[in-house]
Amino acid sequence: MKPVVLALVGPTGAGKTDTAIRISGELNAEIVSMDSMQIYRGMDIGTAKPTREERSAVRHHMIDVADPDELFTVSTYRQQAMQAIDDILSRKKQPLLVGGTGLYLNALSYDMSLGENGADSALRRRLNRIAQEPGGPERLHARLCEVDPESAAKLHPHDVRRVIRALEIFETSGRAKSEQTDEQRREGPYRVLVYGLSLPREQMYARINARVDDMMKAGLAGEVEALLARGIEPRQEGGAMQAIGYKEIVSALRGEITMERAVELIKQGSRRYAKRQWTWFRHDARTKWFDWSEYASKDALIQTLLGQIRLDVSRYLESSF
């Protein structure tokens, strides 16, 4: 019988962090972050990391595990996150994956196969050279549209790192990443039960806009200045400083756009990112969705979610005997 690992997913602004902390006490759980930007040290405000109070209330893993100029691959995440999960299980506690990075969820759900384990270094260098040319990111995305239109639809042309990864999988396996079925992606060492949070689009967009305003008030511009002072530069081929909220502030600090325009672009980019996250997760048939608009209160949704989790875990354990 495989150990049960719970996952709480959904688009940005759906309330995953607060809900995860609320249910962790009831489930004797520790949180394993599935956020591709919260892994970086010194990038706190723009990534909406859990506060010190939240992290003291519930132990968190996979936050602040890399420097912003460090190459941190999905394989690296998988290795470190699995170590954290196994540690949590060894202490008879419940691992709870929380975040909106679908690639991380898949990495922990399935054996890494069909080109995901490694990469052809010459192929990666060639793709990265194309990415650094004028119009290169758009050319790479156009190529992905040809060979894997489903994956391309989920990725922005300037999300170069993930576009390249999808192209690598196709070139090394001969099969589009989106064509990998659950049978082809053999289940990994855990039984991952997935639950999603959602809310009507206009409400989600309003929450995202408000959160960006809060980030600016909390000192996002100063955080970006501190990263630049450390020599952390945006890289054309992708990287931590290409994240939404950071590259726009960099442009403003360098006088390329106004700070007001930067804020507008951050809100726009965050809304588009939330839409892509929703597209990704709604294609995952495992996910059981809980929409805030269908419940009279936050407590009502949380109690229903807890009830569903307990029922699903109980059914799995019973079916294993």
pLDDT in tens, 22-41: 999 999 999 999 999 999 99
Mean pLDDT of 179-205: 84
Report pLDDT digits (tens) over 204-234: 999 999 999 999 999 999 999 999 999 887 7
pLDDT surpasses 80 at 179: no
Query: What are the tens digits of pLDDT across the range 264-304?
Result: 999 999 999 999 898 888 888 899 999 999 999 999 999 99
Please tell me the predicted confidence (pLDDT) of residue 114.
41
Query: How many angstroms separate the CA atoms of 286 and 130, rounded?
Result: 37
Confirm whether pTM is higher than 0.95: no
Q: Indicate the average pLDDT of the chain.
A: 89
pLDDT at 119: 53
pLDDT above 60 for 116: no
